[in-house]
Structure 1
């Protein structure tokens, strides 16, 4: 069964979040890597997973420093490291989506991010994400 685009975005966010948690806790003896988690969440072997999911996760994680640095000037009174990890995951995913993976409409990328934040974080973080993305994505 094919997964919807919303389900794919949820999977991408979750895998990036999982990697951020591992990175922040310096978990060197991880039980599974991103490929295994992607495969498990999609319910199919990694090789058969939608390329969009694989590309989004790979780009978001491999370009972490570049993406983080792009957000820093827009984080008024905030430091990237102090943002909740789920917020970081959504911001990484959104930047990758717009600049590296698919040149989607700015409003679409922001809407996806805000929808995820409303559903999995809270309204205040969704407003924060909306404002930050509006400045970063041009």
Structure 2
């Protein structure tokens, strides 16, 4: 499997059933800058890149765009990686946003989320930061196994 969000999530899940899991990734995602930089340094790298392929994953052109983790997707990630949510919120600038209050969905002058009976929360962060922190968590949390 690859080293994307889906690949790392799958590796974490499969670690319950297998002693060894192999992730094959074309990009140099385990380089020292990404794996050893502090949270502030990582945010600086993300914000000051000359081009999106200069650090991180050149195969993912949308790496530096904002991504949204919705409902069950974020629940699964946070279950597999118990420290991830607090780290992303407190150290890496992620935001937990209310669908009812923080977003506006309009089609043909109709506000679609105006009458929500239940509020939904989305976890907002750029993919570069999410993948880097997720990769660090995978390496530290499953250090005893061969991933």
TM-score scaled by length of structure 1 = 0.28
Higher percent of residues as strand: 2
Higher RCO (CA < 8 A, seq sep 6+): 2
Higher alpha-carbon Rg: 2
